[in-house]
Amino acid sequence: MKAELIAVGTELLLGQIANTNGQFLAQHCAGMGIDVYFQTVVGDNPDRLKEALAIAAGRADLIICTGGLGPTQDDLTKDVLGELFGRKLVIHQPSLDTMVGFFRDRGAVMIDSNLRQALMLEGSDPLVNDTGLAVGNGLTEGDTHYILLPGPPREMKPMFLNYAIPWLRKVMTDETPLFSKMLKFTGIGESNLEHALLDMIKEQVDPTIAPYAKEGEVTIRLTTRAATQAEAYAKMAVVEAEIRRRVGEFLYAEEDVTIEQVVYRLLQEKQVTLAAAESCTGGLLADLLTTIPGSSSVFRGGVVSYSNELKASLLGVPMNLLEGEDAPGAVSSETAKAMAEGMLAIAKTDYAISVTGVAGPDPSEGKPVGLVFFAVACKNKPTEVIESRFSGNRETIKLKAAKSALYLLWVRLNG
Amino acid sequence: MKAELIAVGTELLLGQIANTNGQFLAQHCAGMGIDVYFQTVVGDNPDRLKEALAIAAGRADLIICTGGLGPTQDDLTKDVLGELFGRKLVIHQPSLDTMVGFFRDRGAVMIDSNLRQALMLEGSDPLVNDTGLAVGNGLTEGDTHYILLPGPPREMKPMFLNYAIPWLRKVMTDETPLFSKMLKFTGIGESNLEHALLDMIKEQVDPTIAPYAKEGEVTIRLTTRAATQAEAYAKMAVVEAEIRRRVGEFLYAEEDVTIEQVVYRLLQEKQVTLAAAESCTGGLLADLLTTIPGSSSVFRGGVVSYSNELKASLLGVPMNLLEGEDAPGAVSSETAKAMAEGMLAIAKTDYAISVTGVAGPDPSEGKPVGLVFFAVACKNKPTEVIESRFSGNRETIKLKAAKSALYLLWVRLNG
């Protein structure tokens, strides 16, 4: 089944809000094996909405519209479809009853325009709105199925999950479902990963192999059609094994999770604690970890030692490592090691990780932009030091360095 | 001028990422007086991309494509346009030179597929990529202007702002130019700001008044058409004065800068230094500051004291403040004060700021999610402590708290 998502709303065209409904619906369609080939955003304008609907009807079996079901004059999705299909708009009595009760309970006067929210296209199925007043619609016109959902995500999401999906399952006939598997990599760049798999990507048939990069991580998505998930995974097994053979050392998860989530789970599993001493990442590593709910159970905190003075006073890095003619300097393996070991001693954690490097835009200590040293210290074990080189602007180098620190930690935790 | 935005990428159709580029470009087009009537999302598929381009060319004067400029086999925006217009793809030598230098500096081997990123359509204008490798293109075919931008927001945004907008101003002929002025607010929520200006927003004619919120800051954009910027600003003066009269205390800039950039400039101007002691923001405050190039000249670093032990050992917060039956606890004005004063003493900076609160999702110490205490310490002056309450999920509360800390610092620095 081919689908098209149409988001209706001038506020989207003006960029006042992002089309997060599109992402939500696209994810769920993909999960149901429905191919979304196009998404369209159109304003609260009847002619342009008609145009978008006509184009979509020519290339999709299912059209999901979000927005334009509210009480105002701008909300005209139902009116436009009614006109297009020659269907009247009729009151959905249960929705009207709910609405009348809603206003009565609040001692408020119901303005007539609210009535519009209880309208549905004649011959359509109502989709109940448990979190708002506008009723949704499911209908079939010719060969095309239409689902009309409200625009506010807190109304749209429950209506889609609880009412539109069951409606959709009824109208979706004998299609073989689509299954995807995510393989997540870090510590390797997108082009290097793709280079390692180039012949496989070029010759892919079934399952399909799609790489993409996002925020310092690379994902490979395998996709195939099968009757069950088990059958789909069996079809993917050979391809997956070959990918693992080539780049398995960088594979950190088989689901859509970040490297910080995986590190957090590992720390929890092993019941060990962590602290971080950051220079060039400037707090980003701690920020990534502390964004995970519950992270305080394993992450004790850290130091952002942006100056040599703080590296010395807080982490106990010897000043003769940092400054002086023959000193290795702040960006060096020696300083990375001293930072991690200092952090471990102060925080009394099981592990400490350090990052020191040149985030740019200018070189520092005569060292090039993108040069970064990491160290992982662990109680009663020798400290490991790793040197890396990253490309990009300041923000990108910070992000790649923070993600790499997490990757190194993940490698170390896995032994 | 009518524009259409086309986002290219299967990851968008699968809902793996949201089309935030669409929102960014829509905002900027609106600011330039360009009407965006449609946005389309299409996958990495040449036929469907051609279809989307043909439809867009029939109804828009300007088509802005994002995505599909990378090195992989999936990246085919330039190939498709070249085929459609019968234009060859040619190497953009400066981009190739940059790329070759980039790999050489890193001692890395450049894979051939990277060459694709230096290609441009014959007869087009290159749009320089300062934060990545893929060159953008600006071109006119028939009556339609095309702008090709990379998909990653980190590359797309600077290319659009610094190269595509100037290119666009050149090709946008005899329209009375539109001028915008940004008023940036922080320390006040979007709904409160909008409430304070509601009558003005409802009755707006010229200039238009558009509020929108982003990442813990609120922007009001005033827009009007005029022959010159001076004339436009004169038209805006009365409205701006009234806005300042109502909510001027929260106005921190008249250009599109972040509060951290404004704080950084102020610290530089006053030649004073800063350190940060963070609990609930978990490193985000330091991350925001250190993302600014040159920030190390004023920001010395800080401590992420996520555990009580680190609050005590690194910042010298007395344990009897943190733990015990009658102790005020980690989330308290007393602890915020001790954190800031401890940070000031250790870092020997002119200012130190602290943040401690409950980021959620669960309450802590019996205190509600969103409760946050801040303190600003300064040499030889009394420490100020501020209590705030934020709403949202963990990530939002962290961001609002970090931005608020910067706002409080800005207020303090301004005396």
**Chain A residue closest to B117 (CA)?**
A191
B227 shares a domain with B131: no
Q: Clarify whether residues B42 and B107 are in a common domain.
A: yes
Residues A25 and A137 placed together within one structural domain of the fold: yes
pLDDT score, position B208? 86
Q: Do B41 and A43 touch (CB under 8 A)?
A: no
Q: What is the pLDDT of residues B221-276, one digit of tens each?
A: 898 888 888 999 999 999 999 999 999 999 999 988 899 999 999 999 999 999 99
Write down the pLDDT at residue B174. Answer: 61
Last residue of a domain, one of B146, B171, B196: B171
Note whether B348 and B238 are same-domain residues: no
Residue B238 neighbours by CB distance under 10 Å: 10
Q: A106: distance to nearest CA of chain B, Å?
A: 22
- B148, B171, B194 - which closes a domain: B171
User: Between chains, do A393 and B131 touch, taking CB under 8 Å as contact?
Assistant: yes
Cis peptide before B71 (omega within 30 of 0): no
**Length of chain B in residues, anyone?**
415
- Are A55 and B52 a contacting pair at CB < 8 A? no
Angle at B269 between CA B267 and CA B274, to 5 degrees: 15
B235 lies in which domain range? 178-253
CB B205 within 8 A of CB B225: no
Q: Which of A48, A182, A291, A355 to mutate to test the interface with B (most CBs of B within 10 A)?
A: A291
User: Which of A234, A253, A272 corresponds to the end of one domain?
Assistant: A253
Mark yes or no for CB contact A290/B11 under 8 Å. no
| A307 contacts in chain B (CB < 8 Å) | 296, 300-301, 347
pLDDT of res. B215:
67
Q: Nearest by CB to B13, which of A20, A39, A43? A: A39
Q: In angstroms, rounded to a whole number, what is the distance separating the alpha carbons of residues A31 and B19?
A: 19
Rounded Cα distance between A184 and A199, Å, is 19
Residues B192 and B265 occupy one common structural domain: no
Disruptive mutation site among A6, A191, A202 for chain B (greatest number of B CBs within 10 Å): A191
Closest Cα in chain A, distance from residue B295 (Å): 9
Whether A303 and A244 map to the same domain: the answer is: no
Of residues B111, B290, B306, nearest to A300 (C-beta): B306
Task: Please list, in sequence order, all residues whose beta carbon lies within 8 angstroms of the beta carbon of residue A105, skipping any fewer than 6 positions away.
Answer: none
* Co-location of B196 and B271 in the same domain: no
Q: How many domains does chain B have?
A: 3
Same domain, A278 and A349: yes
State how far the Cα of A79 lies from the Cα of B295, in Å rounded to an integer.
Answer: 55
- Tell me, yes or no, whether B276 and B243 share the same domain: no
All residues of chain B having their beta carbon less than 8 Å from the beta carbon of residue A23 are: 12, 15, 17-19
CATH number where A22 lies: 3.40.980.10
Which residue bears the tokens 């009556």?
B143
CB contact (8 A) between residue A212 and residue B16: yes
Query: In 3D, which of A171, A160, A144 has the Cα closest to residue A56?
Result: A144
Show the tokens assigned to B32. Answer: 């330039």
Return the H-helix or E-strand segment holding B158: helix B153-159
In SS3 terms, chain A reads as CEEEEEEECHHHHCCCCCCHHHHHHHHHHHHCCCEEEEEEEECCCHHHHHHHHHHHHCCCCEEEEECCCCCCCCCCHHHHHHHHHCCCEEECHHHHHHHHHHHHHCCCCCCHHHHHHHEEECCCEEECCCCCCCCEEEEEECCEEEEEECCCHHHHHHHHHHHHHHHHHHHCCCCCCEEEEEEEECCCCHHHHHHHCHHHHHCCCCCEEEEEEECCEEEEEEEEECCCHHHHHHHHHHHHHHHHHHHHHHEEECCCCCHHHHHHHHHHHHCCCEEEEECCCCCHHHHHHHCCCCHHHCEEEEEEECCHHHHHHHHCCCHHHHCCCCCCCCCCHHHHHHHHHHHHHHHCCCEEEEEEECCCCCCECCECCCEEEEEEEECCEEEEEEEEECCCCHHHHHHHHHHHHHHHHHHHHCC
Q: Closest CB to A307: pick one of B19, B39, B301.
A: B301
Whether the link from the prior residue into A153 is cis, omega within 30° of 0, is no
- A280/A377 same-domain check: yes
Phi, psi (rounded to 5 degrees) for A96: -65, -45
Q: Are strands B35-42 and B2-8 parallel, antiparallel or unpaired?
A: parallel
Task: Lay out the sheet containing B371-378: strands in order across.
Answer: A381-389, A371-378, A351-357, A274-278, A299-305, B299-305, B274-278, B351-357, B371-378, B381-389
CB B114 within 8 A of CB B99: yes
Chunked mean pLDDT (size 10), chain A, 415 residues: 93 86 90 88 94 96 94 87 96 93 81 87 95 93 95 91 91 75 87 88 85 78 86 94 95 91 96 97 97 95 95 95 94 98 96 97 93 96 94 89 95 91
Nearest to B26 among A15, A23, A300 (CB): A15
Cα radius of gyration (chain B)? 25
Interface test with B, best of A37, A317, A355 (most B CBs within 10 A): A37
Between A and B, how many residue pairs show a Cβ–Cβ distance under 8 A?
A: 281
d(CA B408, CA B415): 11
Residues of A with Cβ-Cβ distance to B286 under 8 angstroms: 282-283, 286, 304, 306
Residues of chain B with pLDDT under 50: none
Q: End-to-end CA distance of chain B: give it in Å, rounded.
A: 46
Measured CA distances, B37 to B30, B56, B222, B258 (Å): 11, 10, 21, 29
Residue in chain A lying closest to B347 (CA):
A310
Point out the residue among A20, A28, A40 whose CB comes nearest to the CB of B38: A40
Nearest to A283 among B36, B73, B284 (CB): B284
Chain B contact set for A210 (CB, 8 A): 10, 74
- Pick from A8, A34, A35, A38 the residue to mutate for testing the B interface (most B CBs within 10 Å): A38
Residue B286, token pair as written in the block: 């330091």
CATH at residue A309:
3.90.950.20
User: Do B395 and B271 share a domain, yes or no?
Assistant: yes
CB B408 within 8 A of CB B386: yes
- Secondary structure element (H or E) that encloses residue B397, with its range: helix B394-413
Helices assigned H by DSSP within B203-282: 229-247, 259-270
What CATH number has the domain bearing residue B183? Answer: 3.30.70.2860
Average pLDDT, chain B: 92
Is there a contact between B373 and B332 (Cβ–Cβ < 8 Å)? yes
Spatial neighbors of B108 by CB under 8 A, at least 6 apart, are: A389
Check residue A415 and give its pLDDT: 81
Collect all residues with Cβ–Cβ distance below 8 Å to B387 and sequence separation of at least 6. Answer: B333, B371, B372, B373, B374
Could you tell me if B149 and B183 lie in one domain? Answer: no
